[in-house]
Amino acid sequence: MADRVLLSLLILLSLSGVIFVKEVLPEAGNVQIEVNGHPVYMLSIDEDRIVSVKGPEGETIVEIKDRKVRIAQSPCLNKLCMKKGWIEHGALVCLPNRVVITIGDFKKVDSQRGIESPFDAVDAVTG
């Protein structure tokens, strides 16, 4: 029985038709920050940190604290990404500045051993 791998692909469609493609979401416990589709940071969600990334519009400041993540500052017009506040799972996106932050939920799986999901882990969120 071949090992089965769970792979993920994240695509962003924007009004201007630009598409960012990213492969393989980070594993559980990791916070991945990408700019323009390229990973810039892979951080542990367990360590409080403030980092700054530079996108085409300017600096986006990302904060990790108490196992939560937020966009503290971003140069976009609408500040929608900042209004989302703190997240514990899923993704945060600042489209104008091309910044994508994902919190890893997945464990790479070997079908022979199976997986034990943490109680709160979901594969996707609707709503």
Q: Which amino acid is at 116?
A: E
Return the structure tokens found at 125.
Answer: 């969120």
79-118 binders of another protein (CB under 8 A): 85-88, 91, 93, 95, 109, 111, 114-115, 117
Query: Is residue 124 at the binding interface for another protein, with CB under 8 A as the rule?
Result: yes
Instruction: Work out whether 44 is an interface residue with another protein (CB under 8 A).
Output: no
Q: How far is the CB of 121 from another protein (least distance, A)?
A: 7
3-class secondary-structure state, position 80: helix
Cβ atoms 31, 103 nearer than 8 A? yes
Amino acid at 92: L
With binding defined as CB under 8 A, does residue 39 bind another protein?
Answer: no
| Rounded Cα distance, 57 and 36, in Å | 12
Please name the amino acid found at residue 62.
Answer: V
Does 38 participate in binding another protein (rule CB under 8 A)? Answer: no
Q: Does position 42 bind another protein by CB under 8 A? A: no
36 binds another protein (CB under 8 A): no
Four-residue CA torsion sign, 94, 99, 101, 102: positive
Are the CB atoms for 115 and 99 separated by under 8 Å?
A: no
Q: Does 40 bind another protein (CB under 8 A)?
A: no
Residue 113 C-beta: closest distance to another protein, Å: 9
Chain contacts with another protein (rule: CB under 8 A): 2-15, 17, 19, 21, 23, 68, 78, 85-88, 91, 93, 95, 109, 111, 114-115, 117, 120-127
